[in-house]
Structures are given as C-alpha cells and as structure tokens.
Structure 1
Amino acid sequence: MLNEFRALFMKHTVVTRNHLTPELALRLITSASPLWSSPAENSPFVDPYWAFYWPGGQAVARYILDNAEAVLHRNVLDIGCGCGAGAIAAALKEAKLVVANDIDIYAVEATRMNADLNKIVNIQTSTNNYIGTKCEQFDTILIGDMFYDEEFGQYLFNWLSEMTRHRKTILIGDPGRHGLTDARRRQMALLATYQLTNETRRENHGFSQTTVWRLKE
C-alpha cells in the first residue's frame, strides 16, 4: 500500500523551494502539478492536505530555522505534521529528538519522503493521537494551521494550555484562521510575522501573511 502511495506521490507532486523556507526542498502539489487543475474525481488521493505547505506550517518552520535556540537539544513533537517541514526544520537545528506526528499514515509517509529529500535521518514518525495526552516525552510542541474551526480550536487550546502548565513550550503557526480567536491570542505572545510568497497567496485565498505565537504559561 505504501509503495503504491510513494509512486503516486512522486508522480503527482513537484519538488519546490518556492515558499518561506527555501532551505527546504519539499514535494508538494503546486500550480505546476497536473492535479492542480484536474477535477477532484481524477485525483488518486482523497484529501491530500499533506501535499500542501500551509501558511501556519511555513511560519513555524521559518521561525525555527531563524531561531535555532527554540529547539536546540530539545525533544520536539510536530503534531499534524502534514508535509513534515516543521519536523525537518527542527532536525536541521539540532533538536535532541524529533517526532513528526499525524493520524493520517499518508502524511507520515509524505514526511518521510521529504525528510529523505533533504537528507535528514534523525526524524521519527508516529500516527498516535497525542492530543489530550500528557506528552511526557516532549518539551516542545509544534502546531501549524490546526485552529481551522471553533469547536476543535477550543478542545485543542484547552489541551495546549494544560501542556504549558507542565512547562512545555508551545509554538503555534497560523495565518489568521477563525479558530484562533482574539480571546485566545490574548493568552499568547506574538513571536514573528511573515509575508507569504505569491505562490502561497494564490493557494490560500485571503491570506497575505502568517504568524508564529508562543502560548503563555
């Protein structure tokens, strides 16, 4: 099954550095990919979110690449890793342990392929659902583009707030999704704001910039 997926992933994606982290080569569906303009019924993938580099994920990875101390010698968990860029950035900046996590096995496989593309070998992967658990093994948690609706945003924020009480560093990348409300942002510190590339703006209608936040203790 995974061998078939890898072949399809190679066929329907292109290697690109046209994003906020050009240090990373990533296999993605872009406007240069055949699937970009094909009808949905022609896609071999049900929901290939892991083949896109979402704005929040770009922000987290960019921040890590510019601020190595955020992950240096730390145990990092990248939840909802998607294409794996956050985990790859953490591994490049010498995190002690990096686990790329997504409940979708294809996201994990896409992450492995992108890690291989960047010659990164010190990344572990997991399909466990860590949300709601104590995450005792980790001291830094990466979250990108996961505040996509109010209901899940509330559940996620409550859990992340509990994690900060256990002295875990929470880095959140988000371009302004409605699940990251004003009330929640008041409990966070803004670390960085980035202007999105033209390519990313075309892929994400309405977003022109993206941000990184740290959840306050």
Structure 2
Amino acid sequence: MLRLLKYQKYASVKTLVSVFKLTNRQRCFLSSSKSGEYIRRFILENTEIAGEHSLTPEVRLRIFTPRCRFWRERPELWPFDDPYWAIYWPGGQALSRYLLDHPGVCQGRSVLDLGSGCGASAIAAKLSGAAHVVANDIDSVAAVATLMNCELNGLEPLACVTDSIIGSEPHGFDLILLGDMFYDEALAASLHSWLDRCIKTHGTKVLIGDPGRAQFQEHGIRRFLHQLAQYELPESIREENYGLTCSSVWYYNPELTTGEDL
C-alpha cells in the first residue's frame, strides 16, 4: 500500500494515509539539487503514464500507480513536499471531463487552474480551446509535472506559477477552475473571499470540482453553488476513495440563480 499523503487533507484516498516528513539534512540537500532537470528525471523514474481508467481517458498523465516505487515506499524517503500532484483527484477528474464535454465554457478565454496539481484541468482547458491558461500550484514539483503532462498530450508548455495568488490583487481571468480545493476550513474561507473579489472586479466565472467531501458540503459557500454536472466515478477510482462514488462540477456565483448563462 502507498503511504504518502496526509489523510486530513483529502480524506478520500484510502491508499494515501501518511505524511511525508523530511529531516533538516534532507531539506538542505534539496535546496542545492532541486533543479528542473533533477525533478524531471525523478518524476520520470517514479511515476507511470496513466489516466485511461479515469473520467478522462483521452488525457494522459504521469502519476502514481501501484507499480511505482513510492506506492509502497517508506514516506520519509520521499525527497520533496507532499506529492499531491501525483494523484488524479476525483474533483479534478469531474472538472476536466466537464470542460472536454463543453468546450464552449473556456473556448477563447483566459483560464486559471488554481491548485493545479498534475495540471489535468489546465490541460483540458487548453485542449478545449482556451486562449490562455495558467496553472497555479505552490509546489514547484507540480509545475514540472504539469509541463511534462503537456508534452504527453501534444501541447505547448502552459504558464506555471508557483507563488500563492489567493488573496492577491485579482487578475483578469475569464474563468477560474478549482478541483479538490475545499479540504481545509481556513483555506476555504480565504478562497471564498478572494473568489468574490475576482467576480466583482472582473466578472470572472468560477467552476469547482468536488466529490462531496464533508468540508465542502458543510461550508457556507455551498449556498452560492449551482450543480452543472455529476459523474459516476470509475470502479478503480471508487476503490481508492472512502465512500465516494460520484464527483460533481459546480458553478459559483452568489448572484446567479441558474447555471444557464455560463
């Protein structure tokens, strides 16, 4: 069994239940060796090309599979921050599926994939005709993984930003994508406030993908959401998640009464 990620963050993937912890010595070593080429080589050696059993079999991704070393390796041997990018989370799958099925949502638009992880939703947006796509994840390893996944899908490199932009001055994005981001109450609150500013300042549209985790269902933002689609998760994805069988896409806009004008 893979012993990788903190259960309290995504509380859904039963094979990912432990924290990666680095010693100070390991962190010092990383600061001198974490070049783009080093990370790229590490990803190549420790992931596999997958995605065929997801909601978007047409999108290829380098992620963890049971055949990968760190699916079963001791967590303390992992040399980076927690590898959330190495899992294709159910909320991101639903969001990516929706974009591919409804290309008009992002066609010709400027799109931000916030908390982009492996970059699947950003890639789906670009494949669906988005004019400009930015993938934002505070993990620099996720940025390298996203660029590698762009190559796998025949795309030019997307713009990748690794600074946290939540709370910053809103940029003029037409569409913001959030997959599996409502796992922490404080983060959800800051997201709520920032998304409101983006909507009021630029008229930004916001799509959220989530499989129905408790932190999402119980948050106050739910009353501002309108469900656009629900997808049954493939059997293999269900087996990896705690009691989650479906994943949904929601349109967030406090002033909207239906999702028809998206």
TM bracket (short chain): over 0.9
2:246 aligns to what?
Answer: 209
Equivalent residue letter for 1:126: V
Matches within 5 A, 1:1-217: 1-16=35-50, 17-121=52-156, 123-166=158-201, 167-180=203-216, 181=218, 183-216=220-253, 217=255
Q: 1:122: Cα distance to partner?
A: 5.5
TM-score after normalising by structure 1:
0.94
Q: Which consecutive unaligned segments of at least 5 residues does structure 1 have? A: none
Helix, strand or coil: the match of 1:170? strand
User: 2:172 and 2:223 mapped to 1: Cα distance?
Assistant: 28
Helix, strand or coil: the match of 1:160? helix
Q: 1:63: Cα distance to partner?
A: 0.6
2:19 aligns to what?
Answer: none
Equivalent residue letter for 2:120: A
Q: 1:182: Cα distance to partner?
A: 5.6
Q: Which consecutive unaligned segments of at least 5 residues does structure 2 have? A: 1-34, 256-262
User: 1:160 and 1:154 mapped to 2: Cα distance?
Assistant: 10
CA contact (8 A) 1:150 1:178 kept: no
Q: 1:41: Cα distance to partner?
A: 2.5
TM-score after normalising by structure 2:
0.78
CA contact (8 A) 2:151 2:157 kept: no
Q: 1:160: Cα distance to partner?
A: 1.3
User: 1:134 and 1:200 mapped to 2: Cα distance?
Assistant: 37
Alignment identity in percent?
44
CA contact (8 A) 1:35 1:43 kept: yes
CA contact (8 A) 2:107 2:128 kept: yes
User: 1:127 and 1:44 mapped to 2: Cα distance?
Assistant: 18
Equivalent residue letter for 1:11: E
More divergent stretch after superposition (85-94 vs 157-166): 157-166
CA contact (8 A) 1:164 1:215 kept: no
Equivalent residue letter for 1:215: Y
Aligned length: 217
Helix, strand or coil: the match of 2:164? coil
User: 1:148 and 1:87 mapped to 2: Cα distance?
Assistant: 20
Structure 1 residue ranges, 4+ long, deviating more than 4 angstroms after superposition: none
User: 1:196 and 1:20 mapped to 2: Cα distance?
Assistant: 7
Q: 1:176: Cα distance to partner?
A: 1.4
Helix, strand or coil: the match of 2:96? helix
In our comparison, the structure showing a higher alpha carbon Rg is 2
Equivalent residue letter for 1:66: D
Q: 1:164: Cα distance to partner?
A: 2.2
Equivalent residue letter for 1:202: E
Helix, strand or coil: the match of 2:198? helix
